[in-house]
Amino acid sequence: MGLMLFGLTYSYLALAHSEFLFQSIFLQALGLAMLAGYVVLARLFYFIAPLVGASISLILFMVGIAIAWVTRVQF
């Protein structure tokens, strides 16, 4: 349930308010910490399907943040 709420909230922010989301270091760090927490919880309690889903989400979230940071840099 928490992963679905996370996905819904951050998907809405990415689609409707992308500039706000990608400029806020707090929201990026919060999302990263939340996904990492879900991965740790799934790993500790041996939930395989949520572990795979949360791990893929964490990787894609980090890739998205990296792309946002690279494209934000002005030369």
Residue 40 domain-assigned?
A: yes
Domain count, the chain: 1
* Residues whose CB is less than 8 angstroms from the CB of residue 27 and which lie 6 or more positions away in sequence, other chains included: 13, 20, 21
Residue 15 domain-assigned?
A: no
Residue 73, pLDDT above cutoff 70: no
Read off the pLDDT band of 28 (50, 70, 90).
Answer: very high
Residue 6 domain-assigned?
A: no
| Chain centre to alpha carbon of residue 18 | 14
Domain that holds residue 30: 20-72
CA-closest candidate to residue 54, choices 3, 1, 2, 11: 3
pTM (global) more than 0.95: no
The stretch 54-59 carries a mean pLDDT of 94
Between 73 and 44, whose confidence is greater? Answer: 44
